[in-house]
Amino acid sequence: MLPTILDLASLQSAYAAGLSPLDLVEQLIARRRAADDPAIFITQTPDDDLRAAARDLMARAPGPNSLPLWGIPFAVKDNIDVAGLPTTAACPAFAYRPEQDATVVARLTTAGALVIGKTNLDQFATGLNGTRSPHGAPRSVFDRNYVSGGSSSGSAVAVASGLASFALGTDTAGSGRVPAAFNNLVGIKPTPGLVPNVGVVPACRSVDVVTVFAATVGDGVAIRKVMEGYDAADPFSRKAVPASLPASGLRIGVLDGAEREFFGNKDVEGLYDAAIERARALGATIVPFDYAPFRQAAELLYNGPWVAERLAAVKEFLATNAGDFDPTVRTIIEGAKAYDAVAAFEGRYKLEALRQKTRQEWQKADILMLPTSPTTYTVEQMMADPIVKNGHFGRYTNFVNLLDCAAIAVPAGFDADGHLPAGVTLIGPAFSDDALAPLADAMHRTLNMGMGKDRAAVIPEVSHVPQADDRSVPIAVVGAHLTGMPLNYELTAGGGRLVKTCRTAGDYRLFVLPNTAPPKPGLVRQPGYQGKGLEVEVWALAPEAFGRFVQNIPGPLGIGKLVLDDGSSVSGFICEAYAVDGAHEITELGGWRHYMRMKTETEEKDRG
């Protein structure tokens, strides 16, 4: 039986245990038929074609997980070409049937992924709310009265509903981020030019980006890495030079004063403040910054000459088929006729002047953390005031591509009633995509609010998140230094940053060390022992902080090389063997956290 949310680790484990892609396809076909939102897809891959794709994969790569995305199902926003399925951009009269896949789709299927269908969107990717489609409005997976976010609406709902492991969206103004926030997902928004746009119907060609909706940051990063890479056929494709971020003492810019606008939504404002505190607890330095020049840049996207790029994308079709457009989309695109070439240059000059002002703010912070959307609305509210309320969603997203930034949107929790989710977005300079991932992953994991519609889902310990910056020193902790444990402050006070949660190799054993305060475990390696591995956290410390930390470790504990379950090695806590003679062994519990939880429960029962 498949899990509710189809994260990569869960599916790859199921394949290793004997599930076949054909088995998966049959269960997905049943899920699609049972889905209660008829607006998710515009075109589904026919059942028999999906079965045939699974068989072809098994013939091409017979071994389970023999390709990076072997048998992983994904959905594609219907402004991205998939050979054999129509591309409509949510306008039936515009439809055409491509003969070849978009570059990103071709790279994903070559890696073993299976396309399950084309998803609904705000027509011609014009909107952030998901209601501008003749195929209906996909709804939030938590309340059908509420919008799902757009324009990549169907893609987000497909993942959050458990119909796909991941889905492709596009992002011009925030379409790869807002739907993630409204559906408790991760949204990976690459730096413009990192991922090719060949085979994508453009919205604003100069700033469009193909994005990934995923259950976890690690999944999204792994998928992005399959898609990325220079493509000479795309005039905006770039060869990336990865940007780094400080290994410790990361400065995060947050909203301050009059720039904190939530349109009356106190729940989202509270969740934003809670995310700030969570980042602080992870070792970040929180600094206020002036959002005004970023906001002014954001306003250019829809209230400036960049709207003319939307007209450039469809001008011939609009000239003959104006009546086939969604009325709101048509109003926006026809607004481009108010701009001429002079206005385009004036807009460019204004953007560059604002870019200079934002550089002053970037001197204060290494990255920014903003609300993904300051509020949300019901479908009825959005339809009653579609342009103004859609604009509210883009307040903190519209500038990101114009100013050449990378971004990762992560969940931030649910409102006071536990009803609707919100999110925050980490934003960094161009090509900081990998560097943003460790903090984004830690923010998601420490939230502990599940994945997609499954709020009880546990983020898998297996992570595809890139390692911390090479200038930092990774260290694995197993006991009292874990997140939430009494000595964790020794890591955060030294500027430490949580990189990932994972497990040791199977030949480690864990014991309770007697007479330690606070209680501590002893981790001992025993070659030949066949266990399931033990939970550890990998943290990153600056070299000088690492040195100070190690100096304070009391015997019989020390630092040695730990082998992790993926075969890699990392410095971490080990214990001298003599100290565990006669000690209570807790290996079977899987880690110190589980032991401490059981110990606390036992003590409470005894007191009761």
pLDDT in tens, 520-571: 999 999 998 989 899 999 888 878 788 888 888 888 999 988 988 877 888 9
Query: Are residues 86 and 204 located together in one domain of the fold?
Result: yes
Mean pLDDT calculated for residue range 469-495: 82
How many angstroms separate the CA atoms of 10 and 295, rounded? 40
- Provide the CATH number for the domain around residue 157: 3.90.1300.10
The reply to whether 372 and 501 lie within a common domain is no
- Same-domain check for residues 405 and 501: no
62 located within any domain: yes
How many CA atoms within 13 Å lie on the side-chain side of 542?
13
Confidence at residue 471, expressed as pLDDT on a 0 to 100 scale: 62
Last residue of a domain, one of 397, 412, 447: 447
Q: How many independent structural domains does the chain possess? A: 2
Q: Is residue 495 predicted with pLDDT exceeding 90?
A: no
* Distance in angstroms (rounded) separating the CA atoms of residues 107 and 199: 12
Mean residue pLDDT across the chain = 93
Q: Which of 10, 153, 161, 175 is catalytic?
A: 175
CATH of the domain at 550: 3.10.490.10
Choose the catalytic residue: 151, 161, 237, 472.
Answer: 151
Same domain, 440 and 478: no
Q: Please list, in sequence order, all residues whose beta carbon lies within 8 angstroms of the beta carbon of residue 117, skipping any fewer than 6 positions away.
A: 32, 41, 42, 43, 44, 45, 75, 76, 85, 158
Cβ-contact 441, 463 below 8 angstroms: yes
Q: Residue 210: which H helix or E strand, with range?
A: strand 209-214
Residues 480, 443, single domain; the answer is no
Start-end of H helices in 431-533? 433-447, 489-492
Q: Is 462 helix (H, G, I), strand (E, B) or coil?
A: coil
What are 45's two structure tokens?
């891959």
- CB-based contacts of 423: which residues, under 8 Å, 6+ apart? 177, 180, 181, 182, 187, 371, 372, 373, 409, 410, 411, 412
Domain boundary among 447, 482, 510: 447
User: Distance between CA 269 and CA 396 in Å, rounded?
Assistant: 13
Q: Is 531 helix (H, G, I), strand (E, B) or coil?
A: coil
Going by pLDDT thresholds of 50, 70 and 90, the confidence category of residue 603 is confident
Cβ(152)–Cβ(169) under 8 Å? yes
Same domain, 536 and 443: no
Q: Which pairs from 332-335 meet CB under 8 Å and 24+ separation?
A: 332/126, 332/302, 332/307, 332/387, 333/124, 333/126, 333/307, 335/307
Query: In 394-502, which ranges are continuous DSSP H helix?
Result: 399-402, 433-447, 489-492
Range with the poorest average pLDDT among 211-215, 439-443, 547-551: 547-551
Are residue 128 and residue 241 in the same domain, yes or no?
yes
Residue 303 phi, psi dihedral angles, 5° rounding: -115, 35
Whether 518 is in a domain gets the answer yes
With 0-12 / 13-18 / 19 or more C-beta atoms within 10 angstroms meaning exposed / middle / buried, residue 220 is: buried
Q: Which ranges constitute the DSSP H helices of 94-136?
A: 103-110
The answer to whether residue 333 sits within a structural domain is no
For the chain, what is the radius of gyration of the CA atoms?
A: 25
Q: Is 175 among the residues known to form the active site? A: yes
| Domain-located, residue 118 | yes
DSSP letter string, 54-89: HHHHHHHS-STT-STTTT-EEEEETTB-BTTB-B-T
- Is 133 assigned a catalytic role? no
- Burial tier of 260 (Cβ tally within 10 Å: 0-12, 13-18, 19+): middle
φ, ψ of residue 539 in degrees (nearest 5): -110, 160
CA angle 457, 6, 152 (to 5 degrees): 100
Residue 460 falls inside a structural domain: no
Percent of the chain with pLDDT over 90: 81
Q: Average the pLDDT over 398-404 and give the result.
A: 97
Higher pLDDT, 436 or 499: 436
Q: pLDDT value at position 602?
A: 84
Quote the pLDDT of residue 374: 98
Cα separation, 215 vs 1, whole angstroms: 18
The answer to whether residue 347 scores a pLDDT higher than 90 is yes
Residues 428 and 521 in one domain: no
Per the structure, the complete domain to which residue 498 belongs is given by: 473-607
Looking at residue 258, what DSSP letter applies? G
* Residues whose CB falls within 8 Å of the CB of residue 577, separated by 6 or more in sequence, listed in order: 524
Cβ pair 1, 99 in contact under 8 A: no
Are 418 and 512 part of one and the same domain? no
Same-domain pairing of 424 and 541: no
Last residue of a domain, one of 447, 462, 482: 447
Q: What is the pTM of this model?
A: 0.79
Which parts of 513-568 are beta strand (E)?
Answer: 521-525, 535-541, 557-563
| Mean pLDDT confidence for 455-468 | 77
Pairing relationship of beta strands 251-254 and 285-288 according to DSSP bridges = parallel
Question: Does residue 201 carry a pLDDT above 80?
Answer: yes
Q: How far apart are the C-alpha atoms of 41 and 133, rounded to whole Å?
A: 11
Return the C-alpha torsion angle 263, 131, 207, 392, nearest 10.
Answer: -10
Check: CB of residue 121 under 8 Å from CB of residue 151: yes
User: Is residue 408 domain-resident?
Assistant: yes
One domain for residues 95 and 237: yes
Catalytic member of 77, 189, 500, 520: 77
| CA angle in degrees (0–180, nearest 5) for 99-103-104 | 120
From 112, 110, 92, select the one nearest 102 (Cα to Cα).
110
User: CA angle at residue 416 from 410 to 418, to 5 degrees?
Assistant: 65
CA distances from 585 to 359, 562, 600 (A): 55, 19, 17
| Whether 148 is catalytic | no
Round to whole Å and give the CA distance between 137 and 135. Answer: 7
Question: Is residue 213 situated within a structural domain?
Answer: yes
Report the C-alpha gap between 85 and 46 in whole angstroms: 10
Q: What token pair was written down for 444? A: 């998601």
Residues comprising the chain, all counted: 608
pLDDT tens digit string along 162-178?
999 999 999 999 999 99
* Rounded Cα gap, residues 478 and 82, in angstroms: 46
Contact indicator for 131, 121 with CB cutoff of 8 Å: no
**Residue 71 token pair:** 């048998």
On the question of pLDDT at 470 being above 60, the answer is: no
Quick one: 569 and 421 in the same domain?
Answer: no
Burial (Cβ within 10 Å: 0-12, 13-18, ≥19) of residue 561: exposed
Confidence tier at 28 by pLDDT (50, 70, 90): very high
In this prediction, residue 153 has a pLDDT band, given cuts at 50, 70 and 90, of very high
The string of pLDDT tens digits covering residues 235-258 is 999 988 889 888 778 999 999 999
Note whether residue 316 is domain-resident: no
